[in-house]
Amino acid sequence: MNILYLVLSILAVWRLTHLFNKEDGPFDIIFLMRKKAGAGFFGSLLDCFYCLSIWIALPFGIWLGISWWQKILIWLALSGAACLLEQATTKNDSNETSTYHED
C-alpha cells in the first residue's frame, strides 16, 4: 500500500464526510439531499459525522486493502483518522473558564 494513497484517502474521507454532514454544497444540493432524507435512517446518518465517516471510508478501505483483514483495518483507520481531523479542526465554543474565589 502506498503511503501517498493512504494520506490522500484520509483527506478525501474527511472532506466528503464534512461536506455531507456540515455544508450545504454548491447550489444547496447537499442541503436538499439532507432535507429529502428527512428523519429516517439516512437523515440521521447525515446528522452524525462519526457514523457517516464509517460509510464514506468503506469504499476507500476496500480500494486500498489487499486482503480482507487489511481492508477492514484500513476502513476503520480511515474513519478514525477522519474523526481525529474533525476534532482537530472544530472550534470549541465553550468559553467556560474556571474561576478562583479566595475565602
pLDDT tens-digit series, residues 36-46: 888 777 787 78
For 21-31, what is each residue's pLDDT tens digit? 888 888 888 88
Burial per residue of 22-60, b for 16 or more beta-carbon CB atoms within 10 angstroms, e otherwise:
eeeeeeeebeeebeeeeeeeeeeebeebeebbbebbbeb
21 or 57: which carries more pLDDT confidence? 57
What angle do the packed helices 68-89 and 49-64 form, to 10 degrees?
Answer: 140
Cβ contacts of 89-96, under 8 Å, gap ≥ 24: none
* Model confidence, pTM: 0.80
